Structure 1
Amino acid sequence: MDQFVVFRMREEYYGVPIEQVQAIEKVPDITRVPQAPNYVKGIADIRNEVTTVIDLKELLQVGEVKKDASSRILLINLHGLHLGLMVDEAKEVLGIDTETVEDPPQMVGGIDQEYISAVSKQDDRLLVLVNLEKILNVHQIEEVKEAVEA
């Protein structure tokens, strides 16, 4: 059984492997970064560390996270870069039995299959397991680094 951090964007639920998530935090004040791509919301002081915050919905072109009481930031470490992924809601860790995992359909919730590693039927909902390595490709990581360091 694998453990996944479950988060919500719009009405769909997504999961990322727990090993990729360092923490789940409330959305703090964010300082905009000039010249940054639209999906980079800015930088924020999270756990006494300056963290680049990315709006995952905007990156995937499925909308924009509206900051409210349920919005959260998933702190991740990808290729040595500490990032905060802003999502509509994140509040649970779920153990997923490999028997419930299936290949993804062409598109789920407006997100292309290339970003989805699998889907899993969990009781009354479909959980989309995303591949952060594909979502945040090396080119985008370099783009984020350049914008923040400029």
Structure 2
Amino acid sequence: MGMMEKMDELASSGAREYLTFRLDQEEYGIDILKVQEIRGYERPTRVANAPNFIKGVVNLRGTIVPIVDMRLKFNCSKADYNSFTVVIILNLRNRIVGIVVDSVSDVMELPPESLKAAPEIDSVIDSGAVMGLGSLGDRMLILLDIERLMDGQEMGLVSGLD
């Protein structure tokens, strides 16, 4: 899917609500409809041979949920665990996945006209997983296609584990 189709898809959906969170200095937004709940960080159980950004799994009311540290995934300089560290529990096509972020800011409603295509830049994020940039006032959000991000080869969290 090209950038233009992606923007059309964003625009045609009308105003959308995004949960915003911080990683290092950046603020990201993900579709609120994919968010199941927000929890404090608890130490997950390690999984053998998992990539370093998969911290392990937690048992969430009987469901085993893989926990991905987005800060390690995005090569943030440091990944401290403190009282602000939160885990966003996502529901992606019937897979439950948790992502660790520095903090959750708020829920923002972005009208289509506040969305811009993301510039093509080399970054640690698969460019297909960046849906665009949203600006509201002086805030700039990087809008992530979180499903696509979790579906990448190295993650293998959504597709191969049915």
TM-score (norm 1): 0.84
What SS does structure 2 have at the residue aligned with 1:133? Answer: helix
Verify the 8 A CA contact 2:93 2:158 in the aligned structure 1: no
**1:51 aligned onto 2:68:** no
Q: CA deviation at 1:114?
A: 2.5
**1:128 aligned onto 2:128:** no
Aligned length: 147
**In structure 1, how many angstroms separate the alpha carbons of the residues matched to 2:34 and 2:118?**
20
Verify the 8 A CA contact 2:28 2:143 in the aligned structure 1: yes
Match in the other structure for 1:71:
85
Q: CA deviation at 1:87?
A: 0.6
Structure having the higher strand fraction is 1
Verify the 8 A CA contact 1:62 1:110 in the aligned structure 2: no
**In structure 2, how many angstroms separate the alpha carbons of the residues matched to 1:128 and 1:95?**
14
| Fraction of identical pairs, as percent | 24
Give unpaired runs (5+ residues) of structure 1: none
User: Please, what is the CA RMSD of the aligned residues?
Assistant: 2.6
Give unpaired runs (5+ residues) of structure 2: 1-14
The amino acid of 2:36's aligned partner reads Q
Q: CA deviation at 1:59?
A: 2.1
**1:30 aligned onto 2:50:** no
**In structure 1, how many angstroms separate the alpha carbons of the residues matched to 2:156 and 2:123?**
27
Q: Residues 63 and 47 of structure 1: is their aligned pair in 2 closer, same or farther, counting only changes over 3 Å?
A: farther
Match in the other structure for 1:86:
100
TM-score (norm 2): 0.78
Q: Residues 143 and 90 of structure 1: is their aligned pair in 2 closer, same or farther, counting only changes over 3 Å?
A: closer
The amino acid of 1:16's aligned partner reads I
Q: CA deviation at 1:106?
A: 2.1
Q: CA deviation at 1:110?
A: 5.3
